[in-house]
Structure 1
Amino acid sequence: MPELPEVETYRRFLEEITLHQTVTAVEVFDAHVLAVDADELRRELVGATVTGTHRLGKNCFLQLSSGRLLVLHFGMTGDVGAYRHDYDRPRFTRVALHLREGLRVAFIDPRKFGRIRLADSVATFQQAKKLGPDALDLTAKQLQSALGRRKTLLKPLLLDQRLTAGLGNWIVDEVLFQARVHPERPAASVSADEAARLHAAVQLVLRTAIAQEANYRQFPASFLIHAREWDEAPEPQSDAHHHCPRDRSPIVKKYVGGRATYYCPVCQPAPPDSHSAA
């Protein structure tokens, strides 16, 4: 699933190929991904120039010369690409934007859970979708304040896009590991020092992922992500891959808030009243 780092990579790619380019045509191959009428989409896009790009959490925006924005949400399998000729069109291209200089931008989505829509501004979209601040913009003070008011378990709260936009499942596991905080800690039990560590970990994890263009196998060996079980691992993982990179303790996998969760029971001690695996 495209998370914040992937979407930031997509945004940079789109900025490189679409900035100051005029849209000359819109091809809709599958209207299932449209959250706007196809004719309205064409009226807004055709003849408009892309004047900028933005990202909020897992949403990517193309700023149009008309003042409106094209919003791309990538769902579980969404991606973007570019091509010039029909025979080069990527498989599962659902919508294509033709640019004046001949390039075509493909919105690719095999499972069709992604969505394309229009918005008047990032702020109005954020309000309508009830999204919190972007995870990269979240301040330590905002995070500490949000945690201090909640009895919710920490992991489900950090996944709540109303708190902050852009933290997905593996990212939250990595943040908690880097901060040495257990996923089942009640949010209100987090100290000021722990909240500061969590905030620093959010920055570390997201900036590392973005710098590596979301190529997770290139992450530092000190990251928990190498102990995760991936659906499409290129080769069987050795036992070493399932141990903590700090102390070699076996990594625990369990479900927290309905989501597969990985943590080190030594580095991330369980709260006193927890019945979690240790």
Structure 2
Amino acid sequence: MPELPEVETYRRYFEATCLFQPLADIQVEDTKLLTTDYDVLVAALRGRQFIATQRVGKNLFVETDGGFFVHFHFGMTGDLAYYQYDQEQPRFARIIFYFQNGYRLAFICPRKFERIGLVDDVKAYLLKKRIAADALAITPEELGQTLARKKALIKPVLLDQSVVAGIGNWIVDEVLFQARIHPERLASSLTSLEVQALHGAIQKVLLTAIQYEANYALFPQDFIIHAREWALSPYPDQGQHLLCPRCQQMLQIKRVGGRTTYFCPVDQPPVPVALG
């Protein structure tokens, strides 16, 4: 599933290719992907230009010169492709924007979980959908105040988009590992120092993933993502990638909050420890 780093990559791609290009037409293969009526969508966008992009969590909002936004949600496997000729059209291009310069933007929707529609007010939309502050924008104070009210395990709390937006399963595992916090700790039990460490880890993991455009093979060797993505791991043998890069003990794999979870039982103890 495209998480915050992938969607940020899409945002930058969109901004580099599609801004200030008048739209000629829109082709929609499956109207079930639309959250706005087809005729309304086409009438609103034809002849308009995209003028700016904004990402909040896993959501991409593209502003038009008409004052409204187009909202992209990438579902499980969504992607974008900018191209010119018919023979370049990617598979599963369910929605295609035709620009007056002869180029096109395909919204690629292999599994049809993706969605697109018009939004008048981004802030109102986020409030209605209970989407919290973006994971790269939330402050340590905001994070700490929110976690202090949560009497639930820290992993599912961080996966809740109404708590912090944009963090998915592997990112939560990586963040908790980098912050040395056990995934089954109660969110409300975190100390102020642990909240600071958690906030720093969120920034570190997300910025690293964005830097490498979510290419896991390029991630630092002290990231446990390599335990999940063995095919892309920099480690030379199949056993080493399952060891903690800090203490060389075997990583533990279990289900936490219904999600497969990787962590180090040594470096991420189930009770608070002094950081430093």
Query: Under TM normalisation by the shorter chain, which class is it?
Result: over 0.9
SS in 2 for 1:222: coil
* Contact 2:216-2:229 at 8 Å conserved across structures: no
**Counterpart residue identity of residue 238, structure 1:** Q
Aligned to 2:175: 175
One-letter code aligned to 1:91: R
Paired residues for 1:23-102 under 5 Å: 23-102=23-102
The 8 Å contact of residues 227 and 244 in structure 1, kept in 2 or not, is answered as no
Distance 2:246 2:186 in 1: 25
Question: How far apart are residue 121 of structure 1 and its match?
Answer: 2.1
After TM superposition, which residue ranges in structure 1, 4 or more long, deviate above 2 angstroms?
233-237
Deviations 1:1-35 (A, max 9, x none): 10000000000000011111111100112222111
Q: CA deviation at 1:67?
A: 0.6
**Partner residue of 2:195?**
195
Distance between the aligned counterparts of 1:83 and 1:117, measured in 2?
22
Partner residue of 1:115?
Answer: 115
Q: Which residue of 2 aligns with 1:154?
A: 154
Q: Hey, what's the Cα distance between the residues in 1 that align with 2:63 and 2:121?
A: 9
Secondary structure at 1:110 match in 2: coil
Question: Would you say how many aligned residue pairs link Structure 1 and Structure 2?
Answer: 270
In structure 1, the residue matched to 2:250 is: 250
Q: Give, in angstroms, the shift of residue 95 of structure 1.
A: 0.2
Please say if residues 244 and 250 of structure 1, whose CA atoms lie closer than 8 Å, have aligned partners that are also in contact. Answer: yes
> Which string of whole-angstrom CA distances, capped at 9 and with x for unpartnered residues, describes residues 20-76 of structure 1?
111110011222211111111101111111110110100111100111100000000
Q: TM-score normalized by structure 2?
A: 0.95
**2:26 and 2:42 in contact (8 A); partners too:** yes
Separation (CA, whole Å) in 1 of partners of 2:188 and 2:124: 30
- Would you say the 8 A contact 2:34–2:117 is kept in 1? yes
Aligned-pair distance for 1:125?
Answer: 1.4
Per-residue deviation at 1:234? 6.4
**Deviation, structure 1 residue 87:** 2.1
Gap regions ≥5 residues in structure 2: none
Shift of 1:176: 0.2
SS of structure 2 residue aligned to 1:141: helix
Aligned counterparts, 1:108-147, within 5 A: 108-147=108-147
Q: Identity over aligned residues, as a percent? A: 50
Give the whole-Å Cα distance in 1 for the aligned partners of 2:135 and 2:100: 35
After TM superposition, the score normalised by the length of structure 1 is 0.94
1:96-155 C-alpha deviation (Å, 9 max, x unpaired): 001121110000011000100110122011112110000000100001111111111000
The SS at the match of 1:95 is strand
1:16 aligned residue: 16
Question: Alignment RMSD, CA only?
Answer: 1.4
Alpha-carbon distance in structure 1 between the residues aligned to 2:150 and 2:87: 54
Give per-residue Cα distances to partners, 1:178-204, cap 9 Å, x unaligned. 000000000111000000000000000
TM-aligned CA deviation for residue 211 of structure 1: 0.5
TM-fit CA distance, 1:162:
0.3
Equivalent position SS for 1:52: strand
1:276 aligns with none
Distance 1:176 1:154 in 2: 9
Q: Which residue of 2 aligns with 1:5?
A: 5
Alignment CA distance shift 1:86-1:237 (3 Å)? farther
Question: Does the 8 A contact of 2:243 with 2:250 survive in 1?
Answer: yes
